[in-house]
Amino acid sequence: MCCKTINILLILTLLMTGGLLAQSNDLESELRALKEQVAALQAKLEKEAAASELEQLLAEANQLAQDEKKPQALVTRVFRGGQRQLQALNPNISLTGDFIGGLSSGTQALVTEPGDFTDGRNRLALREAEFHIIAPLDPFTRGKFFMGIPGDGNLEIEEAYLEWLNLPANINLKIGRFLHQFGILNRWHTHGLPQIDRPRALTNLFGVDGLAATGIGCNILLPSLWAHVNSLDIELSSGGDGICFAEKADNILLIGHLKNYYDLNRNSYLEIGLSGARGFNDDALQYRSQLAGLDLTYKWVPLGRSHYRTVEFRNELFMSRMQTDEGNRDHFGLYSFLTNRLGNRYWLGLRFSYSELPWEADHKTEWDLSPSIDFWQSEFVMLRLQYSYTERSYAENDHSLMLQTVWSMGPHKHEAY
């Protein structure tokens, strides 16, 4: 009986195992069928979504086309008062102070006292307080006013002129009172000079303030013929400086300057200029003065380090012929100035100048050597120490030590050229 029981159990076990296998096969078939249905449904949904997006884009395109055909509605412009914006029309106003002090071994008045040919030594003085007013007047013009108050307290108009910019044929035009574009340094304001004083070769021609007069001038940007940039300045003015040219109003001066600019490489450039001036030197308008100048500037500024290293070498040569009742008097003068920037704050400079006095018939000469050091406390405050040795054929020689402090308030530092 036990054997029969065992056989029955074995038969039942086999029957149950076969049923489970058959049931497993059925489940796999159903699962496979479900996966195929899901894939088909997903493909159908993606197809319908793509068709719906295409229909939407077509509908939007049709709507835009219809909108463009419709007449545009008028836009109502609202006007408002601009009183609060009037301050934007105010010009840029700046103030500059120029303080100097000097000691000299000389005793003659031409060295120690201020005059037409020297700033004077053995004194402390506020050489000038200058007001700068600059403003664009409209897209085509701008106005500039520079008014100075020297140590004597009398207000002087140094420059006041109107400029038309970007006229046809690459022309800029200006009218008013301005410093003439003769050479390099004559155009610079006194407080913006690279040294405390102007070179003697220049002051003997135009005085310590440079050649300035009232007139009209134009700057023409010429085609690049023999240099990378060529520009020509032509100026007509009424009256001169009282040294080479008579100050009489009907004394019309003609001044010209041709500048040629060359890029030598990525770090350096060269400028060569030719200058000329012509006018009468007497109130009777009988005798003429003719001036010629040659200037050369080399500048080295390493790419990306302009705030720390710069070397600049300026040179000017002057020749003049002045007619007198005793015949022509010829004058020759020159100067060379080398400056080297050491870091962000310090500049070293060295200048040599030689000059023949233009009005002297017996060929009086002088030369000077002037080293200097500048310290820029910031872009608004500069201090300068300068030594000069001057040797003259007509008077005593002298040693001078000078100190200068220049400070500026406002956006304008000095006119840069």
pLDDT in tens, 62-74: 777 776 666 655 5
More confident residue, 416 or 413: 413
Classified as helix, coil or strand, 325 is coil
Q: In terms of C-beta density within 10 A (0-12 exposed, 13-18 middle, 19 or more buried), how is residue 152 classed?
A: exposed
Q: Which residues of 270-309 are buried (b: 16+ CB within 10 A; e: fewer)?
A: bbbbebebebbbbeeeeeebbbebebebbbebeeeeeeee
Grade residue 36 by pLDDT with cuts at 50, 70 and 90.
confident
Say what the pLDDT of residue 91 is.
87
Cβ neighbours, 10 Å, residue 112 = 19
Tokens at residue 405, please? 């402090």
Higher pLDDT, 4 or 404: 404
How far is Cα 334 from Cα 331, in angstroms, rounded to an integer?
Answer: 11
Q: Band of the pLDDT at 19, cuts 50, 70, 90?
A: low
Per-residue pLDDT, 78? 59
Average pLDDT, the chain: 86
| pLDDT above 70 (res 18) | no
Separation CA 298–CA 269 (nearest Å): 6
Which DSSP letter does residue 415 get? -
The arrangement of secondary structure in 90-409, i.e. its CATH architecture, is Beta Barrel (2.40)
Task: Examine the pLDDT at 162 and tell me if it is beyond 70.
Answer: yes
Would the pLDDT of 22 be above 60?
A: no
Domain ranges of the chain: 90-409
User: Of 39-43, 55-59, 84-88, 281-285, which range is least confident?
Assistant: 84-88
Among 23-27, 49-53, 295-299, 319-323, whose mean pLDDT is lowest?
A: 23-27
* Tokens 């390493």 sit on residue: 302
pLDDT for 255 beyond 70: yes
77: pLDDT confidence band, cut at 50, 70 and 90? low
**Are the CB atoms for 211 and 198 separated by under 8 Å?**
no
Instruction: Kindly indicate the confidence band of residue 297, based on its pLDDT and cuts at 50, 70 and 90.
Output: very high
> Is a pLDDT exceeding 90 seen at residue 95?
yes
CA–CA gap between residue 256 and residue 243 (Å, rounded): 19
Which region holds residue 169: left if phi is over 0, alpha if psi is between -120 and 50, else beta? left
DSSP 240: -
Element (H, E) at 327: strand 327-342
Query: Taking 70 as the threshold, does the pLDDT of residue 8 lie above it?
Result: no
Average pLDDT (398-412) is 91
